[in-house]
Amino acid sequence: MCGIVGAVAQRNVVPVLLQGLLRLEYRGYDSAGLVVVNHNQLERVVSTGRVAELSEKTIHTSGHLGIAHTRWATHGVPSERNAHPHISSGQIAVAHNGIIENYEELRTRLSAQGYTFASDTDTEVIAHLIHSHYARGISLLGATQAALAELVGAYAIGVVAADNPQQLIGARKGSPLLLGVGEIEHFIASDASALLQVTKNMVYLEEGDVVEVGLHGYRIFNAQGEAAQRPVHVSELTNESVELGEYRHYMQKEIHEQPQALANTLESVCNSQSLIPGIFGAEAAATFADIDSILILACGTSNHAGQVARYWLEEIAGIPCNVEIASEYRYRVSVVNPKTLVVTISQSGETADTMAALNHAKSIGHLHTLSICNVPESALVRASKLRMLTRAGPEIGVASTKAFTTQLAALFLLTLILAKQRGRLSQEAEQKHLHDLRHLPAAAQAVLNLEPQIAELAKHFADKHHALFLGRGLHYPIALEGALKLKEISYIHAEAYPAGELKHGPLALVDQDMPVIAVAPNDALLEKLKSNLQEVRARGGELYVFADADTRIHSSDGVHRMQMPEHAGYLSPILHTIPLQLLAYYVALQKGTDVDKPRNLAKSVTVE
Ligand code: F6R
């Protein structure tokens, strides 16, 4: 969480910093702030509002060197005093993303040395630590390296000094940071989207790297303090891909981008005549031949994708599969089977719990790792032996949408490839699945055409405080995902249950004020689901059913049926997700919440 931008240039960098922060606001939006260096002084401007408010406060601010920050609060409430950057002794300013675990101990020590703390943050200790070294005449680079050596925890930082008007220091460990290379100007940022406005040439810093950035160049040092070379990548991101365009919100845009995102993710497969393990990496064939089970680790929406995959993997590929919440797995004592493939799923590739779960799995003896991720150079991708990149493009809305459906597409490919390798996929079945995958983007587009009807339906939820989602089998995780989407952006309390579980407790909640949303594909469990829906109707519950055309479920008193255009077999969970995303979106509009930036949340959860 939190976003950082820094710039050193021959022009006023304030517009660059503000534009960068706007792009990074998805990472946290509790407060925003910047520091510029001017005439040997640090000028700090902060705001507890959004970046737009910071912009208004900085109309008279300018400078050729600066750092900026958008915050997701961890230590200390959102307030101006806790907003970054933090300053030590009027000399050193630091913007930080991450958590310093030993900050209390450092704070006590620094206080004893005479430093006074102006905030409740863990970050301020970094500023004072760097200052304590800098004041002894050490260079800014050396002082930062010395301070970092004392920190326990995760950080990406940007550092400037009042008397050093052409130098910026960046460092990362556990949180992302990259360098943007321009002509006689250089930048740092938490992600590439923040710098597209000024350059496409990006250098991804590695764990433990520290970079000294000047007008004319930069020097990178690795965790051991040795000079290091890192390749310059030309970013494939376009400005268009991170702009809102014709849409009202990023979430709406990203829901609509799903047909293209699915087509992009499936491109290599759909253009070929057969499925090959190579799409997961050069070592995939050998690894897949050596495994006898799968363990999926992920959080939130990505975990729901894993839960769908479990049904596919066991049924189609015949491989035992467990799915665990990453934050639980990392602290659980578990039994290691070295023939397990550990699959981590993450949109961002920087979720702290997922990353820690992967590291934990490796540390206890798991050998085979695969990540499914939307960010190519992310920590998770780099830490995994095998990888499959979803090609959803940047996802900016905090609620994950296109990342989820493309994760499902990638997991379905994994299932088919494992099934094929195990002799469980006939040539005919392979061709049929390939045909269905090629058709998937068009099928997703057809579901999007339900948007006006769903917008109408959403009005029924305007005065509701609770909702129950039901699904069975493959679609139970889709019910979970529908409930998560609704709760996080509309703040309606929503629960999801496997429909067969209703009678074991949750049915007690059902009355006319409890809307019940059912995911009803025409699959083997349809008749069972229908019986469960009768149980709801019999208790006066209002039903909202997303039903395939051939389910013979019709609208009637207390039953609102939304007809899905077609039944997609195994791929049905992907299609059934889309109307639930739209429902959450339009209910949030009814409620007037901040759709793209729901309260208390952030896009990348880089803290525990
Ligand atoms: C919900 C949502 C979160 C994320 C979770 C994991 O809409 O977006 O639940 O899915 O924080 O994030 P990633 O996928 O980046 O690891």
112 inside domain: yes
Which residue puts its alpha carbon closest to atom 10 of ligand 1? 301
Distance (Å) from CA 222 to ligand 1 centroid: 30
464 inside domain: yes
Structural contact between residues 441 and 256, judged by C-beta atoms closer than 8 angstroms: no
Report how far residue 526's alpha carbon sits from residue 531's, in angstroms, rounded to the nearest whole number.
9
Pocket test for ligand 1, best of 72, 347, 595 (most atoms within 8 A of CB): 347
CATH label of the domain that carries residue 383: 3.40.50.10490
> With a 6 A CB cut-off, is 548 part of the ligand 1 pocket?
no
User: In this structure, are 300 and 376 located in the same domain?
Assistant: yes
Structural contact between residues 509 and 466, judged by C-beta atoms closer than 8 angstroms: yes
User: In this structure, are 481 and 332 located in the same domain?
Assistant: no
434 inside domain: yes
Which residue puts its alpha carbon closest to atom 5 of ligand 1? 300
Distance (Å) from CA 218 to ligand 1 centroid: 34
CATH label of the domain that carries residue 99: 3.60.20.10
**What pLDDT digit, counting tens, does each position of 145-196 carry?**
999 999 998 899 999 999 999 999 999 998 889 999 999 999 999 989 999 9
Last residue of a domain, one of 446, 467, 484: 446
Task: Give me the domain span that covers residue 509.
Answer: 451-591
User: In this structure, are 439 and 519 located in the same domain?
Assistant: no
376: burial class by Cβ within 10 Å (0-12, 13-18, 19+)?
A: middle
Last residue of a domain, one of 195, 220, 242: 242
Spot the catalytic one: 173, 200, 487, 603: 603
User: In this structure, are 230 and 325 located in the same domain?
Assistant: no
Specify which residues 92 forms β-bridges with: 88, 161
Pocket test for ligand 1, best of 296, 400, 406 (most atoms within 8 A of CB): 400
User: In this structure, are 53 and 103 located in the same domain?
Assistant: yes
Structural contact between residues 249 and 596, judged by C-beta atoms closer than 8 angstroms: yes
> With a 6 A CB cut-off, is 302 part of the ligand 1 pocket?
yes
Which atom, in ligand 1's list, is nearest to the CA of 301? 10
Which residues neighbour 154 within 8 Å (Cβ) at sequence distance 6 or greater? 98, 99, 173, 174, 175, 352, 606, 607
Does the pTM surpass 0.75? The reply is: yes
Alpha-helical regions (H) of 31-139: 51-57, 103-112, 123-134
Pocket test for ligand 1, best of 351, 405, 603 (most atoms within 8 A of CB): 351
Q: Report helix, strand or coil for 557.
A: coil
User: In this structure, are 271 and 236 located in the same domain?
Assistant: no
Q: What pLDDT shows up at residue 1?
A: 67
**What pLDDT digit, counting tens, does each position of 352-363 carry?**
999 999 999 999
As a whole-number percent, the residues of the chain with pLDDT over 70 amount to 100
**What pLDDT digit, counting tens, does each position of 490-532 carry?**
999 999 999 999 989 999 999 989 999 999 999 999 999 999 9
